[in-house]
Amino acid sequence: MIPATVLPSQVYSLIAFLFQFLDSFGFIVLATVGLAIIFGMMGVINLAHGEFILIGVYGTALPFHAGVPLPLAMVMGVVVTVVFGVIVERTIVHRFYDRLLDSMVATWGLALIISQLLLIIFGSSLDSISTPMGNVGYGPFTSSIYRGIFLPGIALLVLAGLYVLFTRTEFGIKARATIEDPETARAMGIDTDRMYVSTFAIGSGLAGLTGALYAPALGSITPGRGSTFLIEAFVAVVVGGPSVIVGTLSASGLLSVFNATGSFFFGTFVGQMMMLVVAIVALRALPDGITGYVKQWRQRRRAEQ
């Protein structure tokens, strides 16, 4: 702990604010990224996104309570969610590509089935897992290292990893070609079916990763917790716009700045209000989201030149 006399109290408040921002930022990025991949790359609105995350939570918590060390349990949580995602893609979701409204109804039904099955099989709650890594203290305040440093760090790594995967690798180029124009892609010898499965598996894996990471930061683990992630995820996807990675990053940044500012100065209620008001204003002013606006702006500039 830094002794309280070294720095004026405003500095401590500023640090507290920074941690609150990072906490919120990490949460929104991780809640959003799986949904954004599946929606942005495949045109499927996965209303079961929250339940996919929940499978990651259960897939982590169950082995952890059985004695598996937490990091290994988290890996198991991700694997379980990927396997589940692939099964769901092959049996259900592949019938719904390009059928936007149908995909919503189907995945919503899936969400209800998953959460009810979790209730029936595992009962009304699992024991919670304490947040690891302790806290960092400064002046009168403390902040969680896991929520305030580790999770936002992972969130940035995930985004960077996705950027490399989809722009710098052969897989990424094939996947994007499949999304843009499946027929031509097939004509060029790309196995589009495999691309769809892989992309959906990545989206599911990211949902699983979010679940695994939040298993020890979620508090209670009950079959209804999937909805915890859904509001932030939907708002961020809509505000972010068509570009998956830059959209997720910019929307999460914008929303968490306002969320943290409202929470810091006025309380959690105002924080949530400000985040939603910003989302409404952003949609009114930038109907194609942040990245849609940037794209248009670039095109206009190019046309002017």
Partner 1 sequence: MSHPNVSRRSVLAAAGTGLSLSIAGCAGDGGGDGPTVGILEDRSGNFQLNGTSKWQATRLAIEEINEDGGLLGEEIEIVDPDPQSDNSRYQDLTERLILQDEVDALWAGYSSATREAIRPIINDHEQLYFYTTQYEGGVCDNTIFAVGSTARQQLGIVTPYLADEYGDDIYIIAADYNFGQLSGDWVNVLAQENDYNIVGEEYIPLEETDFSSVINRIQDEDPDFIMSMLVGANHENFYDQRATAGMEDIPIGTSTTMAQGHEHIRYDPPALTNVYAGVSYMEELGDEREGGTFVDDFYDRFEDANYLNQEAQNNYFSVYLWAEAVEEAGTFDQEAVIEVLEEGQDISAPSGELTLDGATHHMEHEMRVARADENHEISFDGQRRIEPTFLREEVEDGAGCDLTTEDRTTQYEPNDVYDV
Ranges within 201-220 binding partner 1 (CB under 8 A)? 217-220
HEC assignment per residue over the chain: CECCCCCCHHHHHHHHHHHHHHHHHHHHHHHHHHHHHHHHHHCCCCCCHHHHHHHHHHHHHHHHHCCCCHHHHHHHHHHHHHHHHHHHHHHCHHHHCCCHHHHHHHHHHHHHHHHHHHHHHHCCCECCCCCCCCEEEECCEEEEHHHHHHHHHHHHHHHHHHHHHHHHCHHHHHHHHHHHCHHHHHHCCCCHHHHHHHHHHHHHHHHHHHHHHHCCCCCCECCCHHHHHHHHHHHHHHHHCCCHHHHHHHHHHHHHHHHHHHHHHCCHHHHHHHHHHHHHHHHHHCCCHHHHHHHHHHHHHHHHC
For partner 1, give the closer residue by CB, 101 or 303: 101
For partner 1, give the closer residue by CB, 82 or 222: 222
Establish if 148 lies at the interface with partner 1 (CB under 8 A). yes
Q: Tell which positions 251-290 bind partner 1, by CB under 8 A.
A: 260, 263-264, 267-269, 271-272, 283, 288-289
Stretch that binds partner 1, among 16-24, 51-59, 87-95, 202-210 (CB under 8 A): 16-24
Stretch that binds partner 1, among 37-45, 79-87, 88-96, 159-167 (CB under 8 A): 37-45
For partner 1, give the closer residue by CB, 123 or 161: 123
Smallest separation, CB 302 to partner 1 (Å) = 22
Among 101, 187, 285, 303, binds partner 1 (CB under 8 A): 101
Smallest separation, CB 207 to partner 1 (Å) = 16
Among 62, 179, 206, 209, binds partner 1 (CB under 8 A): 179
Smallest separation, CB 98 to partner 1 (Å) = 6
Among 38, 129, 151, 282, binds partner 1 (CB under 8 A): 129
